[in-house]
Structure 1
Amino acid sequence: MSRHPRARRARGRSRVGERFTVEVGGVAHGGHCVARVADGDSGEDGRVVFVRHALPGESVEIVVTEGTEGDRFWRADAVAVLTASPDRVDAPCPYAGPDACGGCDFQHVALPAQRDLKAAVVREQLARLARLEVDVDVEAVPGDDQGLHWRTRQRYVALPDGRIGMRKHRSHEVVPVDECLLESAEPPRHEVRGRAFSVADGGFWQVHPGAPEVLVATVLDLLAPQPGESVLDLYAGVGLFAAFLAEAAGPGPRAVAVEADREACRHARLNLGDRVEVATGPVDRVLATAYDEPFDLVVLDPPREGARRAVVEQVVDRAPRAVAYVACDPAALARDVAIFAEHGYGLRTLRAFDLFPMTHHVECVALLTKTGPDLR
């Protein structure tokens, strides 16, 4: 196999290309499962290997795709299934699988089982990083076709012969494709609840057609905004959440949207009018110098790395009644939930949505509120 993984310092002889038979353990964050191979250098329990294209409980033959003798763990592809899980299905896409397109992690998994795997990952991250035992159910969202045809924006690699391609997993290598079965035939509709939103060409908007409606509905339901409550929308994009929260709060209280991207802010001002103040700049820097009065409600939808400590501490400093945290990465969410807990804000509700079928990605919306004397 020809691979070009992310560069890192070699720690001994390469084991890439070697084959092993393994029993597959549980799912891990990132679209793979955990297995161990007997290896004299790794201790009596065996070397940890993160295996793609496998399922928990299966017996598979793997080929190592990244790893040297001195690495703590290796990466591998399952290239032959010796004992299959009942949740295994034939991948609908001919480009899914080992040494092929890296865009999908779970095409070999039945849709209900995909959601169970994602739920297990969210539970594990919250338990490990936030010390919380949380019941998680990943919910299907209307707008895809049995997990396909939902990506309203898709990027391909243009090949010299005029064809299109997709990159392999953790590689710059390109696989020529005729089409991607995740791509939607319909362009994105920048409209939610009858309200149109201005969005720049190529600007951020949820790619699953059902995502904006379900996320707005969930944030409104969890925060339960009341007339007269002030609103702070962080990582606000073009103002999707601020628009509906400010509408629910009425004309009087302060409503602020903070967004680092200047073009998104320009569109947010068009979408929100004079009712909501739009502040341009990194969220941590804006909050360090402005809007330091109390806010009743805060919603934040940070990028994949999460809000991080500086922003979380600035949020709790505003003493909100409730915080809605929209997260596309369960590990970042769990880390930030733990920081909120340090400051007396507990996780009250968590909902998870399958906005990225066939991949390992999952979207969560968490409600955090101030812990009272009778709540721990």
Structure 2
Amino acid sequence: MTDINQVKEWRRVFHRYPEVSYAEFETTKRLRKILEEHEIKIVDYPLQTGLVAEVGQGEKVVALRTDIDALPILEQVDSEIRSSAEGVMHACGHDIHMATILAATMELKAREAELPGRVRILFQAAEEVGSGAQQMVEAGVLDGVKAVTGFHNDPTLKVGEFAIKSGAMTSAVDRFAIHIQGKGGHAAKPEESNDPMIILGQLMTSIQSIVSRNVSAFDSAVVTIGEVSAGNTWNVIPDQAYMQGTVRTFNAATRAKAEERLQDLCAGIAKAFDANIELEYIHLPNAVINDEALTEKAVEAAEETGYSVQILGEPKTIGEDFSALSDTVPGVFAFIGSESDYDLHHPKYQPDERILETAPDYLVKLIQKLF
């Protein structure tokens, strides 16, 4: 395998110079330079950021994917590799992912003569906004591909632990935004106004019934309100109020039901309070569905690598736009322990670099099983 110090250095450079979704221009240049230095073939696709490489020869093609973007988060980790970009941080570990896939690519290149086909390596932009994978699909990167794989580091797992399941592996992600138009006025004369804060409170309470009263105990879903705003001083009733949040589901029926109930609640409360309520409902990534046969191969590869394998009973509630790839061709996606005191998307997230010592080996073993 590639020298571990080199792999760590790749990761540290990516961490120092993060870029947010669709702005990964320098990251793409760094990836291209590394690949070209190691004589890895780069395949031209119509992508503004991100790139595609290949190793091997023949008609059979399998794909290996990594995400490359960072988050608009101000890093709070005091380390020698702290982000040099103010307010931008690899708080989801895509720097770990890139270094891992680069290391796996180098090993696959070394074994190129033994490969029964081609490995198409996808360095994908814009995972954090949920559309980068679909952009790659539309660019044709999966044409001729028989299977695709990838992974995500998991700071809730110890280094050496590996988690997977067949079927739904992550949740479908939807975002909702609700704009309430009432009638403002003097706080001492509420009868002359139509207070949007009262409507906001009613909606907040009612939304919590979507899961508790509409989703079976044998199914699961999450509805979370992440932001509310209304008013700007103590003695004025505002004209408007706003909230936004997310819905996480694991099958199409529950996803549709949650959206339908939210629409009904907005319409009903708007009528009851004689106000205008506008719901904006956005479908983001689907649930990642792991192919059963490919999952078995991933478990075999993980065990051969020496991982402690956990077969999950329930999917993760995080979103992952790898689903656009696995919706197109059979796919398998796993979580590998990175052991941080703080979880993904936290400004103090700090993964353990020991994950880099074995994750590339797992991917190489799995790729060979996918042909």
Instruction: State the TM-score, normalized to the length of structure 1.
Output: 0.25
Q: Which has the bigger relative contact order, CA under 8 A and spacing at least 6?
A: 2
Give me the TM-score of the superposition, normalised by structure 2: 0.25
